Structure 1
Amino acid sequence: MSSGNTSPGMSDVPSAPGQEPIHTVPTLISVFFRLFESQFLLVIFSALAIIWLGAHGSLRRPPSAAPPKLKKGEKRSEKENFMEGLTLSDAIWFPLALGAVLIGLYYLILWLQDPAVLNQLLRAYMSLMAVTGLAALAGDALDIMSSLVFPSMWADRNGQVHYIDPDRRCQYVINRLTGEETVVEGKQTPFPGILSNLAISRDWSRFWWDVRHLLNETWTVRLAVRGKTLTKVEVRLNDLVRFTIGVSIAVAYHWTGWPALSNAVSVAMCYASFMLLTPTSFSIGSLVLGGLFIYDIVMVFYTPYMITVAKKLDAPIKLVFNSTSGVSMLGLGDIVVPGLLMGLALRFDLFQYYHKQTKLEPITLTTEIASPESETTETTGKTHYRRVKVPYVDTSGQWGNRFWTTPLGRLVPTNEATSPIAATAFPKPYFYASLAGYAAGMFATLAALVVFNHGQPALLYLVPGVTGSLWLTGLIRGEVKDMLGYTEDGSLDTEDVVVELDADGRVIKETAKKAPEKPEKEKPNDQAEDAEGTREEEKPQGNKSRELFVFSITAPRSVA
């Protein structure tokens, strides 16, 4: 993160020697047309695409949604608590730490004179650190591809949703009036749409169902020594493939240093940053961006550090775009720093979506009052309301469902496909507003670059564009108070919330209990399973032998 905040020295824009900035109308018109050159459009599109991918990859259960109901034998996902929240002090320490690193790199380059050795060390370090990001990006891409080939639902031309059941190995529809399930005859394949009507043999049908099963289910890898389980990991076939892809790209970049691979590693590092960091709240995020806003201006306009380091270092700390008119560079910090706040905006949209579906269930709370005179108790009852949250729908596997349930010519799935709508097609006013603000900031950066023919601090334009668009959206929608109250520090993740309402239906008091981090029954079940496996290993075989070392891989078994 520290080295990734190298700002865009978008440079090498041709101009006449000694040419002063011209502000005539014809020149401004030419600047306007230059902004739509393929190189500049590629810079803007690449930055927006990375932010879009990273923000959607960071989605997890919001505190306004209840944990999803688990199937028998299924464990709770650990994805809910995987981010490190930025605190208020980070608004001060981030610019200072980044400035120290940048200045150190600048003087190290001057001392070495030839930064080749430094580039080799940074390349090796970045290659190692990028394996996780590359694996995460490749794995999520494989998940989306798998969901496109093997979705769990699809809609026909009439809008009727067909559900694919991997356990019964059939497809069925639900009657919209009665809610009854009816198995569709002649559709014995796991494929959607026209492919569901393929007339294939029973053996081939069984083969494709098995392929779908292996791609979606987990394998269990277990290592035990002297009857004691050392490690037990559940992995999917996708996990093995993603790790192989991540290592291969990282090794190839380390040995070749190709610009295309450097950009791929840079994208992966941005993606990993979205998975690991969050500004916790809009206020803290705005303050962090404000501190880096000042840092970027000082380092680009008043010191030679930023542009010199960006040009001299050949490491995945920037995106490089080559064209006949020159070379443009966009620092990863100009993507990650605003992108973290934009990812928070997307998760706030998801929070709002589930919060608006929360229902109030009336309950009666009784109170017993003892009478000291008659030695009797009097029971009184008062009506309160309990908030009932809607169960969360995970985004995993829903992108394929969204594609196959969206009618041609529309952007939103059919109303019957509730899961894809809840997971991917929920309203995103704040996220779209931040995308528009970021795009406007990038256009302003490129315009200033062309006019002044000098590297520009992109955060000078991006920070006002992103933060301004978010707070303006909240002001227009009358939700500034909701933005200020939203936080991802865990305090909003409560259960059994009991509220009191006034005559107008407004909440005047609420009592909540914080949700447990993990279900209480998960740990005993895991311990019982490990104990059972240990007892099985400790059984002597013919009273003569004992297993000292066990390494097993258990394949998933289909219910069918």
Structure 2
Amino acid sequence: MPTLLLQNMDLLVLEIRIVFTALACIYIGSHGAIRRPHSAKLPKTGKDGQKNEAEERDDEHIQGMLPSDAIMIPIFAGTVLIGLYYLLKWLEDPDVLNKILRVYFSTMSLASLGKFFADGLHFLTGFVFPTVWIGKERKVYHIDSERRGQWYAGDGPGDRIWDDNKNSPLPGPFSGFKFSATTAKLLWEIRHFFSEEWTVRFVVHGIVNEKVKVKFNDIFGVVLAIAANVFYYTTDSTFLSNILGYAFSYAGIIILSPTTFATGSAVLSGLFFYDIIMVFYTPYMVTVATKIDAPIKLVFEGPTRSSMLGLGDIVVPGIFIGLCLRFDHYMYYSRQQKLKEVELKTEDTSSGQLITKKGTQHILVKPEYVNPQGQWGDHFWGTKLSKIFWPDATPALKASAFPKPYFYAGLVGYLLAMVATLVMLLTFKHAQPALLYLVPGVVTAAWATAAVRGELHHMWNYTEDGSLDKTDVVVEVDGEGNVITELRDNIDKGEQSDKKEEGDEKIVKAGDKPSDGTLTAEKVAKEKAERYPVFLLSIEAPAPYQ
């Protein structure tokens, strides 16, 4: 084997680049797909204890896969692949189909490419303008945009010591630079510019009525995506084709969810057989992959040869590894849940009379969720090298370092499977169906980890369909305090707050005498009937930073 590897050193270098790129896509995409687990509750941080609007928006459930997809996805994939193969045979010249596919992918990739570029810009902005950093003597400096200064904690609880020598929002050694007042003000305004949220409204009467909160990086990411698509369509750049492939892989891992480990294992098993049949027993896969010039693959070119990897070989195992990471996140908060004794009233009408009984029950209290995303810059600047895997400068940094045994097991399984693919490719000198090795490697690694840790029951019952997202669950416990079963959930269901937030428009009923500035229900309805937006596209910026 060493001799064989030395004889094919150029191919080995290409495969190392491909494996590293695939692992990077899966790693970054899986972290981008982290959401609040059902074992934690969303903190109430808005007005009057209401949920924060931005956090509630990011907390929406994503439609996941169903068990039937294990059958339907391979069938659809095979239908498309066979159709493309015979279309190529009928056209005889693949350039015609490539031009059509270029237009298609240029259009369809705008959303994924915009998301990819925007998150990359957020990543870079976080390194330039973090919120915390570690100084000398392990002092944790906090960068305060409102006060335009930097402080560290004093000896007493709640004490803040402001450092007058640091008048800019820059971290580390850059914080000691003596900027002029004008330059320092400009840096603070740039920081605020990248962090403030704008509101984009798009209305087409009867069709679309959307309001989206975005930042400058999101808008600039879309602009970059449009420019990249124009260059991709007008050039034959393999680099741009790979960029689109990275974006499709990144967005696919974020958007797609297998919902459960059973469904994920079934879907991957179906594609396992699909890949074997299409590569070994038909000419469809190899022909389409080599003749179509579209971002459905990653292509790496060397001095004497080139190598490629289909996007499915990244996305398919990637969504399963992403599920492993979210399961790690779920278990992290599940271990923090506590039991609380409460006295509940129950009504019994079995005897024909209404009898109210009181009893002591246990409620499963979930910990509050801390969003770990967007902490790359704080992790870099706010963590000493000795604690790089255990950051604790802020609650968000501490929450981002939750244990990830299933995620790392999936990555190791993927790496070993890719090495096995390379060995078989060199041995038989024939295109290999990567899923033949990736599916057993990733799936076996995850289930074996659960078996070793004694968490097969938790892994089997885990789901992302929203059924586990319950609050104030009444449970039955055994003598050791372990939860046996759920008796009742959402005991506070139906309790609605009638309070209105300050600034809400006050409306009185018809016949009431309205006070100054108050609108009657008839007047509001009349204004809505007389005027409505037919087409509206606007970008609203927040008030100027003071």
Which bracket does the TM-score occupy, shorter chain normalised?
0.7 to 0.9
Query: Do structure 1's residue 444 and structure 2's residue 420 form an aligned pair?
Result: yes
Residue 513 of structure 2 aligns with which residue?
none
SS class of match (2:225): helix
- What is the CA–CA distance in structure 2 between the aligned matches of 1:505 and 1:175, rounded to whole Å? 40
How many pairs are equivalent?
Answer: 518
Deviation sequence 1:325-347 (CA, Å, 0-9, x none): 41211111111111110010011
Deviation sequence 1:287-308 (CA, Å, 0-9, x none): 1000000011111111111101
**Normalised TM-score (structure 2):** 0.86
- What is the CA–CA distance in structure 1 between the aligned matches of 2:243 and 2:491, rounded to whole Å? 39
Deviates more, 1:173-182 or 1:129-138: 173-182
Aligned CA distance change for structure 1 residues 458 and 206 (closer, same or farther; 3 Å): same
Letter in 2 for 1:210: E
Q: Deviation of residue 355 (structure 1)?
A: 1.3
Residue 541 of structure 2 aligns with which residue?
555
- What is the CA–CA distance in structure 2 between the aligned matches of 1:46 and 1:369, rounded to whole Å? 63
Residue 239 of structure 2 aligns with which residue?
260
- What is the CA–CA distance in structure 2 between the aligned matches of 1:158 and 1:337, rounded to whole Å? 47
Deviation sequence 1:228-272 (CA, Å, 0-9, x none): x97654332112101101111111101113111111111111111
Q: Deviation of residue 64 (structure 1)?
A: 1.1
Superposition map of 1:99-138 within 5 A = 99-138=78-117
Q: Deviation of residue 492 (structure 1)?
A: 0.7
Residue 364 of structure 2 aligns with which residue?
387
Deviates more, 1:124-133 or 1:407-416: 407-416
Superposition map of 1:248-397 within 5 A = 248-366=227-345, 380-382=358-360, 384-397=361-374
Superposition map of 1:22-41 within 5 A = 28-33=1-6, 34=8, 37-41=12-16
Query: Do structure 1's residue 428 and structure 2's residue 428 form an aligned pair?
Result: no
Query: Do structure 1's residue 415 and structure 2's residue 401 form an aligned pair?
Result: no
Q: Deviation of residue 527 (structure 1)?
A: 11
Residue 487 of structure 1 aligns with which residue?
463
Check whether the contact 2:279–2:285 (CA below 8 A) recurs between aligned residues: yes
Check whether the contact 1:161–1:416 (CA below 8 A) recurs between aligned residues: yes
Residue 401 of structure 1 aligns with which residue?
378
Check whether the contact 1:402–1:413 (CA below 8 A) recurs between aligned residues: no
Letter in 2 for 1:112: L
Aligned CA distance change for structure 1 residues 342 and 231 (closer, same or farther; 3 Å): closer
Residue 63 of structure 1 aligns with which residue?
38
Letter in 1 for 2:388: L
Aligned CA distance change for structure 1 residues 160 and 387 (closer, same or farther; 3 Å): farther
Deviation sequence 1:381-413 (CA, Å, 0-9, x none): 32x332222222223431111111111354225
Deviation sequence 1:503-548 (CA, Å, 0-9, x none): 111112324536999x98899879957999x99xx99xxxxxx999
Among 46, 57, 62, which residue is 2:21 paired with?
46
Check whether the contact 2:5–2:12 (CA below 8 A) recurs between aligned residues: no
Q: Deviation of residue 133 (structure 1)?
A: 0.9
- What is the CA–CA distance in structure 1 between the aligned matches of 2:491 and 2:201, rounded to whole Å? 31
Query: Do structure 1's residue 156 and structure 2's residue 129 form an aligned pair?
Result: no
Residue 510 of structure 2 aligns with which residue?
none
Q: Deviation of residue 208 (structure 1)?
A: 1.5
- What is the CA–CA distance in structure 2 between the aligned matches of 1:126 and 1:203, rounded to whole Å? 46
Quote the RMSD (CA, aligned, Å): 3.5
Q: Deviation of residue 354 (structure 1)?
A: 1.4
Q: Deviation of residue 556 (structure 1)?
A: 2.0
Aligned CA distance change for structure 1 residues 408 and 189 (closer, same or farther; 3 Å): same
- What is the CA–CA distance in structure 2 between the aligned matches of 1:450 and 1:156, rounded to whole Å? 51
Deviation sequence 1:113-144 (CA, Å, 0-9, x none): 11110010011101111111111011111111
Deviation sequence 1:150-182 (CA, Å, 0-9, x none): 111122243332222212222222347634333
Check whether the contact 2:14–2:302 (CA below 8 A) recurs between aligned residues: yes
Q: Deviation of residue 97 (structure 1)?
A: 1.0
- What is the CA–CA distance in structure 2 between the aligned matches of 1:104 and 1:515, rounded to whole Å? 54
Q: Deviation of residue 192 (structure 1)?
A: 1.7
- What is the CA–CA distance in structure 1 between the aligned matches of 2:492 and 2:284, rounded to whole Å? 48
- What is the CA–CA distance in structure 2 between the aligned matches of 1:526 and 1:247, rounded to whole Å? 41
Check whether the contact 1:70–1:76 (CA below 8 A) recurs between aligned residues: no
- What is the CA–CA distance in structure 2 between the aligned matches of 1:124 and 1:530, rounded to whole Å? 51
Letter in 1 for 2:415: A
SS class of match (1:158): helix
Check whether the contact 2:71–2:270 (CA below 8 A) recurs between aligned residues: yes
Aligned CA distance change for structure 1 residues 179 and 322 (closer, same or farther; 3 Å): same
Aligned CA distance change for structure 1 residues 233 and 458 (closer, same or farther; 3 Å): closer
SS class of match (1:81): coil
Among 50, 74, 81, which residue is 2:60 paired with?
81
SS class of match (2:301): strand
Could you tell me which runs of 5 or more consecutive residues in structure 1 were left unpaired when the two chains were aligned.
Answer: 1-27, 540-545
Check whether the contact 1:166–1:213 (CA below 8 A) recurs between aligned residues: yes
Could you tell me which runs of 5 or more consecutive residues in structure 2 were left unpaired when the two chains were aligned.
Answer: 508-516, 525-530
Check whether the contact 1:155–1:406 (CA below 8 A) recurs between aligned residues: yes
- What is the CA–CA distance in structure 1 between the aligned matches of 2:173 and 2:2, rounded to whole Å? 51
Aligned CA distance change for structure 1 residues 547 and 504 (closer, same or farther; 3 Å): closer
Residue 431 of structure 2 aligns with which residue?
455
Check whether the contact 1:346–1:430 (CA below 8 A) recurs between aligned residues: yes
- What is the CA–CA distance in structure 1 between the aligned matches of 2:192 and 2:423, rounded to whole Å? 52
- What is the CA–CA distance in structure 1 between the aligned matches of 2:460 and 2:136, rounded to whole Å? 44
- What is the CA–CA distance in structure 2 between the aligned matches of 1:414 and 1:469, rounded to whole Å? 27
Aligned CA distance change for structure 1 residues 135 and 407 (closer, same or farther; 3 Å): same
Q: Deviation of residue 48 (structure 1)?
A: 0.6
Aligned CA distance change for structure 1 residues 129 and 218 (closer, same or farther; 3 Å): same
Identity of aligned residues (%): 43
Check whether the contact 2:196–2:542 (CA below 8 A) recurs between aligned residues: yes
Q: Deviation of residue 39 (structure 1)?
A: 1.1
Letter in 2 for 1:249: A
**Normalised TM-score (structure 1):** 0.84
- What is the CA–CA distance in structure 1 between the aligned matches of 2:536 and 2:248, rounded to whole Å? 37
Check whether the contact 2:391–2:397 (CA below 8 A) recurs between aligned residues: no
Aligned CA distance change for structure 1 residues 371 and 335 (closer, same or farther; 3 Å): closer
Residue 6 of structure 1 aligns with which residue?
none
Check whether the contact 1:402–1:421 (CA below 8 A) recurs between aligned residues: no
Aligned CA distance change for structure 1 residues 60 and 522 (closer, same or farther; 3 Å): farther
Letter in 2 for 1:217: E
